[in-house]
A and B are shown apart, each in its own frame.
Chain A
């Protein structure tokens, strides 16, 4: 897919995100905007997946698990725009009875979602379990996961990291959204992750880096990551992003981690994001 086409989808996804959270005056726009380019690329170019016939067991298709479930707005928008469920349903986000729960869940059978997430640190274990069964089933497809950098403070992540390397789970590509921010401030101030690259190396993973707002960087890194699968080591990508990317007054600030724009702020944001595919 041309970068322009990806950028057009991403612009619409960003519009969806700010409209969704503003409508219910809650939700997490910052990380959602920061991961928009990555998830757009993943679903529209990287993964082999079947949006029109969602199967929970995901046999013979690539799987994605969102471990940092609070960025559900970007995932819901990308899933809807990719064809998993009707785009107008985005307007039900966080409302009573909606399939689009505040944090992703399987409870109401929303196509595209295979595991609840929100309580942090669990998605890497889940992805590794699914990947290990793909190997057992001789299913050559790949498991992708996404994690916040703040989420890496959860101990379970490192249990999972150790397990994957020890068991040569080489059909998983985990991506870290390295925006350097979490609710209480900068990750370095809240609880520094130290040398993240060396940590993953020491845990036995192949470590790649990419610019999460440059489709050329995303494409080349994701292709490299895929080429590295099947070589006996799990793969992690440390993806540099900006929280709030695409909306000038949100960029780079942890203040928009979990705060929704009001009507006036929403209009300012929408003025910066072209409507390319039609609003829901």
Chain B
């Protein structure tokens, strides 16, 4: 299996391009940012539509409340700040004024996870997927690369209801086709295989693609699913794949608690019990370092995916 690398870009730039395109397409789209316009790549939208861009200053709680209020006149607000300040800092505002009130707010969160890098653990949120998927009415999306983040940004404007869109800072390979269709809640099967199912999201999709090559070299046939929508989870895609392979590895740039792996394990335990191994951060905060150093140190790198596959295979029941 060959994956053509179409370029290298950060997923946040995909958000910025998607938002700029939306600005041209849809006059109801408005954007709010809490003093991180450059980091979120929201400058293009701001420049083209100054009347629809709202700078809130360093006041995230107010930003979420404003966005909720802005839906009432029929607008579709996109809020932008780091993932840490998009979730934990404003959880109660999101819970009451967005999720419970079913407001059409798109919470767009950059610099998620360890790959925020040198700023360290204060900013490296690894709990946000868990927090957001626990909220009723919330859709949770973690696109895999630049193109997919752009496609997802455009897609969520057409979806009525609260959305959490998570993306990141580092430059990573682009492998999703620029004209690919993004369907919320429908997983992408990137590679078909028979021995093990790898289910990944975000930057870990590329790490898993790299792992496929190593696995192939040692004769392991792995199926790879890009689970860009964590909620609603594509249960059918999981069950179809695991029926064939009989074991699962989940890979995410997030805590093991509360994340993609836990969501997948709920499906497996209820509908198709099977060995599952987790590539995730295990109950620890991060630290300063380069994104790739941190992925290695905290065991969410390509060799960790390969090792998890081996563990999962070893746990498969032996059929005589």
Contact = CB atoms under 8 A, between A and B. Distances in A.
A59 B70 CA distance: 12
Contact of B59 (A57, A65, A126, A162): A162
Contacts of B61: 121-122, 125, 155-156, 159
B73 to A, nearest CB: 3
B70 A122 contact: no
B68 A115 contact: yes
Interface in B79-101: 92-93, 95-97, 100-101
Given A118-B96, A136-B51, A137-B73, A129 B67 contact: yes
B56 interface: yes
Given A115-B97, A126-B65, A163 B57 contact: yes
A129 B93 contact: no
B8 interface: no
Contacts of B62: 125, 156, 159-160, 163
A119 B92 contact: yes
A211 interface: no
Among A114, A156, A166, chain B packs the most CB atoms within 10 A around the CB of: A156
A5 interface: no
B81 to A, nearest CB: 14
Contacts of B59: 159, 162-163
B52 interface: yes
B69 interface: yes
B75 interface: yes
B74 interface: yes
Interface string A139-174: 100000000000000011001101100110000000
A219 B66 CA distance: 29
A49 to B, nearest CB: 14
Interface residues of A, number: 40
Given A107-B102, A118-B96, A136-B51, A160 B65 contact: yes
A25 interface: no
Contacts of A107: 100-102
A182 interface: no
Nearest to B66: A129
B67 to A, nearest CB: 6
A212 interface: no
A115 B73 CA distance: 13
Contacts of A121: 61
Nearest to B74: A57
Contacts of A163: 56-57, 59, 62, 66
A156 B65 CA distance: 9
Nearest to B69: A129
B121 to A, nearest CB: 24
A58 B96 contact: no
Contacts of B95: 119
B14 to A, nearest CB: 27
B101 A106 contact: yes
Contacts of B69: 65, 115, 125-133
A186 to B, nearest CB: 26
Interface in B24-78: 30, 51-52, 54, 56-57, 59, 61-70, 72-75, 77
10 closest residue pairs by CB, A with B: A125-B65, A129-B69, A133-B73, A129-B66, A159-B62, A159-B59, A126-B69, A130-B69, A129-B70, A156-B61
Given A115-B101, A125-B66, A162-B59, 19 more contacts: A56-B72, A63-B72, A107-B100, A114-B72, A115-B69, A116-B101, A124-B65, A125-B63, A125-B64, A125-B65, A125-B97, A126-B66, A129-B65, A130-B72, A130-B73, A133-B69, A155-B61, A156-B61, A156-B93
Interface of B: 30, 51-52, 54, 56-57, 59, 61-70, 72-75, 77, 92-93, 95-97, 100-103
